[in-house]
Structure 1
Amino acid sequence: MNRIEVLRQYIDEILLNMTDVEERRCAYLHLYGVAQSCALIALKRGENAELATMAGMLHDIYSYAKMDTKDHAHKGSILARDILTSLNVTNEHETKMICDAIYSHSDKVLAHSNFDEVLKDADVLQHCLYNPLFEIKPHEKDRYEKLKSEFGIVDFKYWRMEQYD
């Protein structure tokens, strides 16, 4: 079994044990949505798509496993390190890359390594595309605009209006 599937099985066990059905649904959508966006962005930018996918799957695992969002990026990087170490699916360098990206993913203003930026941008993309009619959060607006340009995305609300005119 490949590393992503090993990690997916582990994460699924955490999510399946969530008692709140709505939170569980949100966790699945967000973690795996960010993971897929990570793969797409990493492939486009020449970064490691496998490790980016793993970072996406783990980036908010602390929030969902502990039902606590306070300082979740920093605490989540510690939990991710524990998970990756226990599963023995990454070497130390890969673990550090993934955990560094998780540690900094909530800081959408500062730029970090190119790999770290993949996770931040994937997080923003998933938030913004989950429901394209939702208002974009102010701290994500600049990143989303750059992502739309990078991927040639037409603003959904204008596309929708044109369809009905």
Structure 2
Amino acid sequence: MKIHEIREIIKLIDQSSINEFKLETEGAKVTLKKSTGMETVVVSQPVAAAPVQAAPVAVAPALQAAPVAAPAAEAPKAAPAVAAADDASLHKIVSPMVGTFYSSPEPGKPAYVQAGDKVNASKVVCIVEAMKLFNEIEAEVNGEIVKVLVEDGQLVEYGQPLFLVKPE
């Protein structure tokens, strides 16, 4: 199951009155539960099919920003201004969760991608760490990275643009 498919399911559940959702397909299991303004996402896949183990991830809905999160909420305001200045045809790779953005697989290693790099839809472009789990984020489209919108080690919000990609 691809991360963008999980994101779409989260959006649909968030917009509905459903409190609990379970899906089992091709050896993957997804369970979503709403409670106190948070959604808990559990993704399980066979070990051979996924090199990274998946576990519970808390995703805060973008509409329920707490006063504590106000400084982090200021970062996404700058991204739309940048995106508006650029071509409207650019694809945004967004964060699927709240976490810490890492541009490389380990400290001291080169970044997965930089501005000007060509990517395909399944190319890993960064990692977002949430609750000690390192989630690889894929490009989702074939194209060229035009701009990296966040800094290494920066906290990112759910739905925050991370990269701008010129699709091929």
TM-score category, normalised to shorter length: under 0.3
- Higher share in strand: 2
TM-score calculated relative to the size of structure 2: 0.27
